[in-house]
Chain A
Amino acid sequence: MRLTLLLLLTSFGLFAQEDFTTTTSLFGELRARQIGPAVMSGRISCLAVHPTDAATVYIGAAGGGVWKTSSAGANLAPIFDEYTQSIGAIALAPSDPDIVYVGTGEPWPRNSVSVGTGMYRSVDGGNRWESLGLEGTERIAAVAVHPGNPDIVYVAALGPLWSSGEERGVFKTTDGGKSWVKVLYLDENTGAANLSLDPNNPEVLYAAMWSFRRTPYSFDSGLNGKSGLYKSADGGENWTELRNGFPEGKLGRIGVAIAPSNSDTVYASVETGNTSTSGMYLSGDAGATWTHRSSALNTRIRPFYFSELTVDPSDASIVAKCGREGIISRDAGNRWSNFDGFVHSDFHAIWIDPADGKHILVGTDGGVYESRDRGNTFKMWMNLPVSQFYHVSVDNAKPYRVYGGLQDNGSWFAPNRSSGGISNADWEKTYGGDGFYSFRHPTKDNYVFSEFQGGNLVRYDTETGVAKNIAPYATADTDPLRFNWNTPIHLSQDGKRTYFASQYLFLSNDEGDSWERISPDLTTNDKSKQQQATSGGLTIDNSTAENYTTIYAVAESPIDNNTIWVGTDDGNLQVTTDAGKSWTKLNDNFPADLPKGAWITFVEPSPHDAGTAFVTFDDHRTGNMDTYLYKTADGGKTWTRLGGEDLDGYALSVRQDLVNPNLVFLGTEFGLYLSLDGGSSWAPFRNNLPMVGIRDMVIHPRESDLVLGTHGRGVIIIDDLEALRQITPEITTQKIAFLKSRPAFLPDPSGFGNGNFGGSGNYVGSNPTTSAEIMYYAGSRHTFGKMYIEVYKDGEKIRELPAGKSKGLNIIRMPTTLERPKAAPSDNRNALIGGSQPPQLAPGTYQVKLVKGKDTYETEFTITTDPTSPYTAADRAVQRKAVMKLFDDTEELAYIYEVLDQVQQQASSIKQKSTKKRITEMASSIKDMAGKEKSRLAFKGGDFYVNEGSMLREEMGNLYFSVSSFPGRPSDSQLQEAERIHRELVAARSKLDFFLANDVAKLNDKLGEEEQITWPAKEAFLAAEEDVSGM
């Protein structure tokens, strides 16, 4: 029988192994670290402000979620991280502003735009959210809430960008979003692009309907001619097209806004396809007739991106419009002036304070700005990290730096850790425009490669601050070069080979000063899809964003530098195994389930095997949002699709771990997925990582960090993949399994008074932990009985720590410091702060006991110093010895003080109680002597600020702080001062011992045993928990 049970258990183990599935709980307490940047912020799609409290603002980012401030930007927090990060519109219910509606999916449909998943609502000011459906709308342009009833809401659904679809038009709910009625619908190609509700008569609505379509190679504003402006006067039941005053013919995108102070005044920016009739229109009769007021550039520029108007709520003749620049008119749209030129271009949202028309907020491609003078000057909110990275890379500096290029915000780099956190000032710009790939050369350290849109490659010199344009040109034997908007640059690991690609692949061996073409045209070269010069529909929009039939992904195998993979935007996957002499197109080998022509977004040649590669395909530009990830293990001859129902969002990037080939990372439009079994099963990683598009990622080979370039939340890092590397199917069959952790480096102190006083409103990205880590896998969640951790050094227990209780990965972080010394009280602030600094632990091996109920599990970890640190081990040893001596002295003094205090208190009590004169006198004398000695040793009675004295206690605390805050050799003066303090302390102890052995002993001789003065032994005093009475 016993044998049977054993067999059962064993087979269960095997079964579990075969049955292994990657689950989110396996990632346990591993948390991502967001480092920003916010210095350049990112694209804002909408703003919503509390109707009566202008300090409460909701910000919708194009790809970075919803942010809220209750302090006019002093503090900003993301409040929508568990949901789709592409935001279209936000509206607060005027009658109950804690009710917040969010429509997802950005309505400014540029080539790189993300997608939404419908409507959401919060009834508690954005703390908790519920989905309200309309998932298929893809993008929502406007939300209007009835002024008196928070459950009546109108939604302008733009609908799918890349395909036709019926989930678009104007939707209405009367039950807070439980059910929706489509109240205005024209056809499957025409969506609602804007909505304006009359606050004075909420039955009246204006809706801008827009026919539009994007393909990978073109954009068409106007499309089938159904665009138009519509009005309803009965809460959306019936609609009339408004046309009187607009030119004949096809219309494009329209922005519409009613003046809240005068319901008859309505503004519309209208795209007509003609520069003289496009622009700003005004109606003075509630939409019945329209007058053309202006065709100034910014009233008609790029309508698909800028058709948003705002009327000053308190003055119907003041109207502002989004454009490349923000503009404002004070004469009802006739003459216009630009907003502050120091604001980032490309405006998408303008809010004018109903209580003060000079107070304006704007949202641009570069974040949120605030004006108090009606737009002449703006100040930027410097704490909104919604930057949209296209790509990311790292270098080998210590600490390593992170590089990347951003949507409309150039190319930047910063260290991944910095004193006090990674601040705005830590980021350095290498080039402007839209940024994409950016790399530091691994050996020529002053070179950073960056680019701007459409193949403009530069080599920036960080020494001189000057960039050299190094892009190749077309030659006699080539077609004109076609560069993707997001042109691939690839640097070989050793930095010797730089690749750059149009429809051809180019190689440079001299950092871009000369190029050799090493491929024929690797695309389909479909001429019908190379018409970007005429793209845009009614308004030509030729920005290189529609450049097509181009190379999009390039990767040299890290195992074999003759093997290079190339993926194109039109679906070709090509490989060479002879450094470009010959190329093989692999498309015929693809499985049938891969849509033809799907954009190849990423190729990851395996770091373990030259024949293995992972490839992501993205077909969303035809309206197909499925996740396509494939793997080959034979150089591209055969392909296996990885993942299925467990993945969501179109695929953007993939990496295989450098150490454990079964650990694979996939970035999709909806966040990061991990597989622990080579791609068979996947689970989302959501710990401090929002559902943001992951465009690129890289694993730092030295630090083992996974660095993510997100399109909306900047750079996010998962520090130290060591734990994930060790979570194997075998591990998950165990009850408790310790995982190896890397030796922890003792952190060097960051000194005193670092940082500046910039006030609130500046973003600071977090640094990686400096704690030692104890990591274990637990097979089940711990709920009953004790579970904690003890840490030992050389047999002595130095710490007790709370244990992690989760099923899956647990990471316990232990500060690499001792407990702070027990110190005598003081009213001197500096001495108190000084005494609160615990000394660092000694380098070496530490033993860990994990106690779980009756079981104990043991492991160990190592603490060491960074071998590249400028402070030598010898100097550190001197420092440590001095600190520990001051530590011991601090505790000795604490003991002396405690004994004096107890003696004083007991003597005082004896003095009061005793009726014998001799005893009263002796007790009184002892009380006074003890009190006097206490005052000589420590300063009490001050104000912790400017009334501070300095006695031995304070001198010791200050010196302790000075010595412990510098990791190298203390100065001779400090060592001498330590000696002096120690001598004084020894004298104080002698004095105490004499006092106890004489004065106190004499009094005790006269007292009964019960009445005698007592005091604790030093060991007991140090061992006791800090004094908390009551037990």
Chain B
Amino acid sequence: MRQLSVLFGLILCFTFNLNAQKTAPSPDEIATAYLEAIGGAEAWKEVKSMRFSGKANMQGQDFPFVMTRAEGNKFYQEVSIMGSKMEQGFNGETAWMLFPMQGINEKTAMSEEESKEFQEEEFLDVFIGYADRGFKLEAVDGKEIEGTPTYGVRVTNEGSYDKTYYFETENLVPIMISSVGKSGQTKGMTVEMYMSDYQEVDGLMMPMFMDMKINGNSFQKLTMTKGEMNVEIDDAIFELK
């Protein structure tokens, strides 16, 4: 009897998928299902800060990092590069960098364009209360990504926020975000961030692996090995001075 129910379950899933393929859910429906899948909007609103450690893989080499994010889109990260430390921070207004190996021996402000890119790394998931926060969702054509079909949702705001999220049709979590670089070497180029290894961190689902690509070429892979929510932070770490 149990096997029978499993079989029916399979058939039901299959039917649901078929239906899903026929009529794509609206962006709002996708957002709702997605937020449910990652732990619920209310739980996410309780998060004031988070810290992740892991390693960045570039051209076959690993670089350990620790990244701290907090409300106000604040950001701080340390990366160890051949024994030398690189630091980057953003206090909500100004992004800065400290990179002795490159001759940047004291915290130095980054360009306005770069600061803006940090500003657009929303601490609170853009889909949470998106309308009230000024974000607009628009359905765009889904496409096959890494062999699996997706729905496309373009997210924009009055400012320059413009990212297209591709949700795996099967699970309704984003597996790729496409955006155009606004500063530095990626300026004007489409950067694709592939996401996988969704795992629970303090009860909330997060992608713990990200692969950044331009024109299909991976230039950075991030593996998060440890994550914590609502860590205690000295706000000074985000500051330039």
Contacts and interface: CB of A to CB of B under 8 A. Distances in A.
Nearest to B173: A783
B147 A781 contact: yes
Nearest to B198: A784
A817 B62 CA distance: 12
Given A124-B180, A1025-B64, A1030-B68, A786 B199 contact: yes
A787 B197 contact: yes
A785 B148 contact: no
Interface stretch (A323-331, A717-725, A804-812, A871-879): A804-812
B136 to A, nearest CB: 18
B175 interface: yes
Interface centre among B6, B57, B197, B216 (most CB of A within 10 A): B197
A290 to B, nearest CB: 45
A28 B66 contact: no
Interface in B194-229: 194, 196-199, 208-209, 211, 215-217, 221, 223, 226
A787 B197 CA distance: 7
Interface stretch (B17-25, B75-83, B91-99, B123-131): B75-83
A687 interface: yes
A268 B103 CA distance: 59
A490 to B, nearest CB: 36
Interface of A is mostly: loop
Interface string A21-38: 001110010010000000
Interface string B112-153: 000000000000000000000000000000001111100000
Nearest to A813: B60
Contacts of A785: 197-199
A1030 B78 contact: yes
Nearest to A82: B215
Contacts of A28: 147
A781 B173 CA distance: 13
B83 A825 contact: yes
Contact of A127 (B148, B173, B190): B190
B188 A805 contact: no
B66 A805 contact: no
Contacts of A801: 57
Contact of A2 (B3, B64, B144): B3
B100 to A, nearest CB: 9
B49 interface: no
B117 to A, nearest CB: 16
B189 interface: yes
B216 A687 contact: yes
A4 B2 CA distance: 13
A505 B194 CA distance: 55
A31 B147 CA distance: 15
Nearest to A771: B60
Contacts of A822: 83
A717 to B, nearest CB: 16
A782 B226 CA distance: 20
Interface string A1-35: 11011001000000000000001110010010000
Nearest to B148: A781
Contact of B146 (A5, A805, A835): A805
Interface in A948-966: none
Contacts, number: 129
B216 A31 contact: yes
Interface string A991-1031: 00000000000000000000000000000000001111111
A783 B168 contact: yes
B13 interface: no
Nearest to B63: A1026
A767 to B, nearest CB: 14
A805 B83 contact: no
Given A783-B171, A802-B209, A127 B60 contact: no
Interface residues of A, number: 54
A836 interface: yes
Nearest to A788: B223
A630 B171 CA distance: 42
A361 B1 CA distance: 78
A125 interface: yes
Contact of B144 (A25, A127, A778, A1028): A25
B174 to A, nearest CB: 10
Chain B interface residue number, banded? 35 or more
Contacts of B1: 1
A787 B196 contact: yes
B53 interface: yes
A886 to B, nearest CB: 17
A4 B3 CA distance: 10
Nearest to A24: B144
A825 B53 CA distance: 23
B231 to A, nearest CB: 10
A786 B208 contact: yes
Interface string B1-40: 1011011000000000000000000000000000000000
A1030 B211 CA distance: 24
Given A806-B146, A815-B60, A1030-B51, A127 B216 contact: no
Contacts of A1026: 64, 80, 83
B175 A802 contact: no
A108 B61 CA distance: 49
Contacts of A778: 147
Given A784-B198, A806-B146, A1030 B66 contact: yes
A110 interface: no
Contacts of A8: 7
Interface in B47-76: 51, 53, 55, 57, 60-62, 64-66, 68
Contacts of A124: 180, 188
Interface in A646-688: 687-688
B45 interface: no
Interface centre among A2, A127, A778, A814 (most CB of B within 10 A): A127
B171 A784 contact: yes
B148 A807 contact: yes
Contact of A25 (B57, B66, B147, B216): B147
A259 interface: no
Given A125-B188, A783-B198, A1028-B85, A808 B171 contact: no
B221 A802 contact: yes
A802 B147 contact: no
B89 to A, nearest CB: 12
A23 B147 CA distance: 9
Contacts of B103: 944
Interface string A801-840: 1100111100001110101101101000000100110000
Interface in A301-328: none
Nearest to A833: B82
A802 B85 contact: no
A856 to B, nearest CB: 16
Contact of A1027 (B65, B80, B144): B80
Contacts of B144: 24-25
A817 B103 CA distance: 28
A836 B82 contact: yes
Contact of A5 (B3, B175, B208, B226): B3
A966 B188 CA distance: 41
A784 B37 CA distance: 11
Interface of B: 1, 3-4, 6-7, 51, 53, 55, 57, 60-62, 64-66, 68, 78-80, 82-85, 101, 103, 144-148, 168, 171, 173, 175, 180, 188-190, 194, 196-199, 208-209, 211, 215-217, 221, 223, 226, 237
The 4 closest A-B pairs by CB, nearest first: A807-B147, A25-B147, A806-B146, A781-B148
20 contacts: A24-B144, A81-B215, A127-B180, A688-B215, A781-B148, A781-B168, A781-B175, A783-B168, A802-B211, A808-B147, A814-B60, A815-B60, A822-B83, A825-B83, A832-B82, A836-B82, A1025-B64, A1027-B85, A1028-B80, A1030-B66
Given A781-B146, A808-B147, 13 more contacts: A4-B3, A23-B147, A24-B144, A771-B60, A780-B148, A787-B209, A805-B211, A815-B61, A825-B83, A1027-B85, A1028-B65, A1028-B78, A1030-B237
